[in-house]
Structure 1
Amino acid sequence: MKKIRMIDLFSGCGGLSEGFMNTGKYTEIAAVEWLKPQVETLRKRMSEKWGEKHANDRVIHFDIQREEELFHGWNQDPQYGTSRGLDYFVNRAKGIDIIVGGPPCQAYSIAGRVRDEKGMKDDYRNYLFEHYLSVVNRYRPKLFVFENVPGILSASPDGEAITDKIEKGFANIGYEILRDLKNALVNASDYGVPQNRKRIIIVGLNKDYFNDPQNTLNLFYTKYLPEEKSDKKISVKEAIGDLPKCIPYFDEEHHNRRISHNTPKCDVSWHVPRYSNPRDMDTFRLLAEDLASGKRKFNSHRISKLYEEKVGSKSPIHRYHVLDPDEPSTTIIAHLYKDGNRFIHYDPSQQRTITVREAARLQTFPDDFEFVGSRGSAYQMIGNAVPVVLAEKIANAIVKLLGGK
């Protein structure tokens, strides 16, 4: 079978790419990402795991808003170096079949809108989908897959719903998406991901290729994708419980060293606890003990009181959460790069937040997936990624859709 030719936009560290490549049915023609640690991570993965000899060229480090250069190439940019541009790779592959990706979700996130004093109305990321649309229009793939947060359903920064803009924009270039995008909502935990992570998966079909796009889309969302669901939910403990125990190290003499104590040598990379001070470690232990005992006396109100007692100031938001070992995790988010207080390990004796490798496992990255950059960068790219297993299930469903065509 001839492999399906793919471009990954806003690729991040490659969650979508990894999942699609895992099926053995896709080949990545090019990927575009503007954050350097993510670019270097994907280049490393494409080279070492997938044997791509020209990964440094095919994974393009660039700002997608600079469309003309993105398409035609550029020379000696002080930030982005030199590239032949997307046209070169698409022409060399004799066209593409599918574009995948999703613009940054912060502008559409309900939490982001609540925190921003202007409700993210002035955030340029509201309209990055227009550049995604431009790439689709230029290369005319059979279909595209556009992933984002559920908050996109209610986002309307200039008074018009973003989903209406997306539907009209793609309709104007000959692509059709599902009319009611509420039916495009999926929970990753239904697909073998140990995490409750709800996302909108927008599939768009080229009307020149599909005779009855709406019928095909309905089949995708009611048959092909649901057929990929798992038989059972995967719990946090099933995902990370076999990793070696590790405890943050702290004492007054050595605390500036920020190293780990009682951490066995581990064959799995990135499994090192972040620095925690004694106050935080005691808080983590107290909350984990409460969960482990089954008492669960620390509700949101009591956790807020605990924060006030420990820190000496009030917080309007619920700042702590222990991951329940017997349930899928809460949504892994990029905020992890700042702190992990909402991702406390369930073992009271470890009194810490989750490691990079634990976060990666909850996002279903395999243990041989290596992140390039700082620990903060690793947390950020993991939190922003599409879970690899969910991406693989979507990729399988797309194969069925194309087979049906």
Structure 2
Amino acid sequence: MKRKVITNKIERLMKGEKARVLDLFAGCGGISLGFQKAGFEISAALEIDEHAAMTHARNFHPDSPQFESHAKARDITATKPEGLVKELGLGKSVSSCIDIIVGGPPCQSFARVGRAKLREIAEHPEAFLNDPRGNLYLSYLQYVKKFKPVALLMENVPDVLNYGGHNIAEEICETLEDMGYVCKYTLLNAVFYGVPEMRERMFLIAYAKELETQVSFPEPTNWIDLPRGYHGSRQVALKTIQPNLLEETAHSYMDPPEPHPDLKPAVTAKAAIGDLPPITLHLEGKLKRGARRFTELTPYPKNQRLNEFAKLMRGWPEFENSDGIFDHLIRYLPRDYAIFRRMDHGNQYPEAFQHALELFEERLAEARKEGKAIKKGSEAYDELKKATVPPYDPGKFPNKWRKMEPDQPARTLMAHLGKDSYSHIHYDSDQARTISVREAARLQSFPDGFIFSGTMNPAFRQIGNAVPPLMAYALASKIFQTINEAITNNQEDVDEFVRTAAAV
């Protein structure tokens, strides 16, 4: 029997009303931003980090009477759907107030609960509350059970396909099918969708069976020959998906649409951030240690010719920006500026460490020339080395640093940006620094008018955790198209039935 609440939602969408989105584990709003651009209404979000929750509210509900409620950080395991609906004033009925659920449960929550526990969610919605391991994707499924969305999107790291030998995505699909959804999942790389960053993620899309449609994923718009490491990580993730056993082990997996060289070239790091103002105050001794707050406007350089990506970042609908940016801030790393300057594009920590040793020897030689010879083992020797050479073993931390290539997209930005930014050293040697908050946001495809709450470190963490908005936009556009086509087909069937009945 069809679920009346689902058909009611479909009828509402048939009247031309916007689909209402609930973003779970929303972070600062990367998925929300993509869905908003595609024509969806961002009704609510749930996020445990206080800075990210405030960022989401400031960007998507700045004028709402319930702004404080939208900005409140919430733990999904302690927040019942009924309570969320009441606090945000979403409506009287949980099952009728949301059309789409999106989100990415944190990957560290994937314990090996297996199919039995997942299926228990479908039969006993409160069962997850008794699970001491706090598997957050069970909470996601509980919200699906309660809100009964017409469609949903789940995002996660590729390893979710092979977590301790478990294909968590496949097991989730089995549970969603029990709930009345058709679903598929795949691996997509954001760089193929206009994001200036090579970021591989798992995406799962599901539609209510009442829509009578099938899942498909967006076609790539850009092309690049990915570095070998990205191909390797995909193969590791796909180990639990054996082609000869596909029907038995991974019937919900779908090969991603393939990019090809005839598409537009991928957006490079220089194309993504090259129009932003250069930063050199740190080289003049005018940058000090301490929290960086977003209180000072940095104007855009004048009379620039902007490329397509830069125009989008300044002109994103509802986030237009023409004056400048408030978060063009960098870390205070005085020991390392000279090392950054010497590094070649693509250099990583072993090369950086070697440059540091060379600098150290040069400074010892300079001291000797000035008649201030510094003896090995002396306090002065140790102090100079500490001020010149990073302490990490290059054999143990080969990937700790990396200088970006201007003519390539950036490597994956991680939440670790909140602790340091050595993974993304600016390609411009004259600036000799790591990337700024706004440059990180650009590489993730956040528009310049998007406001981040908190200071520099929390902002970096929010950006590193986010789904790139342009990747989300590609997925949201495909979901929008699929739903509209399903509704159109549904309406045509109704019209044909009416015509046939009238003829009789």
Q: Same fold (TM over 0.5)?
A: yes
Give the 3-state SS of the residue equivalent to 1:276 in structure 2: coil
Is it true that 1:311 corresponds to 2:390 in the alignment? Answer: yes
Q: Deviations over 1:65-121 (max 9, x none)?
A: 12xx422328xxxxxxxx83479547389432210111113456xxxxxxxxxxxxx
Change (3 A) 1:311 1:166: same
In 2: Cα distance, 1:264 partner to 1:85 partner: 35
2:181 corresponds in structure 1 to 175
Q: Check the 8 A contact 2:425/2:435 in 1, yes or no.
A: yes
In 2: Cα distance, 1:259 partner to 1:165 partner: 44
- Match runs of 1:45-64 below 5 Å: 45-48=59-62, 51-58=63-70, 61-64=73-76
Q: Deviations over 1:144-186 (max 9, x none)?
A: 1001111211113xx64323432233233223322xx4xx111
Match of 1:273 among 330, 339, 350: 330
Is it true that 1:341 corresponds to 2:422 in the alignment? Answer: yes
Give the 3-state SS of the residue equivalent to 1:205 in structure 2: strand
Give the 3-state SS of the residue equivalent to 2:77 in structure 1: coil
1:39 corresponds in structure 2 to 53
1:239 corresponds in structure 2 to 272
Is it true that 1:196 corresponds to 2:198 in the alignment? Answer: yes
Change (3 A) 1:90 1:185: farther
1:18 corresponds in structure 2 to 33
Shift in Å, 1:381: 0.4
Shift in Å, 1:280: 0.9
1:330 corresponds in structure 2 to 411
Q: Check the 8 A contact 1:336/1:383 in 2, yes or no.
A: yes
In 1: Cα distance, 2:182 partner to 2:357 partner: 51
Q: Check the 8 A contact 2:418/2:458 in 1, yes or no.
A: yes
Q: Deviations over 1:310-360 (max 9, x none)?
A: 224414122210111111111111111111111000111111000000000
Which amino acid counterpart does residue 347 of structure 1 have in structure 2?
D
Shift in Å, 1:376: 0.6
Shift in Å, 1:251: 8.1
In 2: Cα distance, 1:138 partner to 1:385 partner: 26
1:118 corresponds in structure 2 to none
Change (3 A) 1:124 1:357: farther
Number of matched pairs:
358
Which amino acid counterpart does residue 390 of structure 2 have in structure 1?
V
Q: Check the 8 A contact 2:189/2:201 in 1, yes or no.
A: yes
RMSD: 3.5
Shift in Å, 1:399: 1.0
Give the 3-state SS of the residue equivalent to 1:331 in structure 2: coil
Change (3 A) 1:348 1:175: same
Structure of higher CA gyration radius: 2
Which amino acid counterpart does residue 325 of structure 2 have in structure 1?
V
1:387 corresponds in structure 2 to 468
Percent identity over the alignment is 33
Shift in Å, 1:60: 5.1
Q: Deviations over 1:252-304 (max 9, x none)?
A: 998557889xx994321101222112x211111111xx23xxxx7x5675446
**Structure 1 segments (4+ residues) deviating >6 Å:** 222-225, 227-230, 250-254, 257-260
Q: Check the 8 A contact 1:334/1:384 in 2, yes or no.
A: yes
- Match runs of 1:121-200 below 5 Å: 124=133, 127-156=135-164, 160-178=166-184, 181=185, 184-200=186-202
Change (3 A) 1:227 1:321: closer
Q: Check the 8 A contact 2:291/2:455 in 1, yes or no.
A: no
Change (3 A) 1:90 1:43: farther
- Structure 2 unpaired stretches of 5+: 1-15, 111-131, 222-255, 300-323, 359-388, 487-504
In 2: Cα distance, 1:264 partner to 1:64 partner: 36
Q: Deviations over 1:11-30 (max 9, x none)?
A: 1111111111122x211221
Which amino acid counterpart does residue 330 of structure 1 have in structure 2?
R
Which amino acid counterpart does residue 275 of structure 1 have in structure 2?
Y
Give the 3-state SS of the residue equivalent to 1:3 in structure 2: coil
Which amino acid counterpart does residue 236 of structure 1 have in structure 2?
A
Shift in Å, 1:191: 0.8
In 1: Cα distance, 2:348 partner to 2:71 partner: 46
Q: Check the 8 A contact 2:82/2:94 in 1, yes or no.
A: no
In 2: Cα distance, 1:235 partner to 1:144 partner: 31
TM-score, length of structure 1 as denominator length: 0.78
Is it true that 1:355 corresponds to 2:411 in the alignment? Answer: no
Match of 1:91 among 90, 93, 96: 93
Shift in Å, 1:192: 0.9
1:72 corresponds in structure 2 to 82
In 1: Cα distance, 2:27 partner to 2:136 partner: 15
Is it true that 1:4 corresponds to 2:52 in the alignment? Answer: no
1:77 corresponds in structure 2 to none
Change (3 A) 1:312 1:34: closer
Q: Check the 8 A contact 1:344/1:354 in 2, yes or no.
A: yes
Q: Deviations over 1:180-219 (max 9, x none)?
A: x4xx111111111111111111002223x143x6xx11x4
Q: Deviations over 1:219-258 (max 9, x none)?
A: 4467999699973311111111011111252689985578
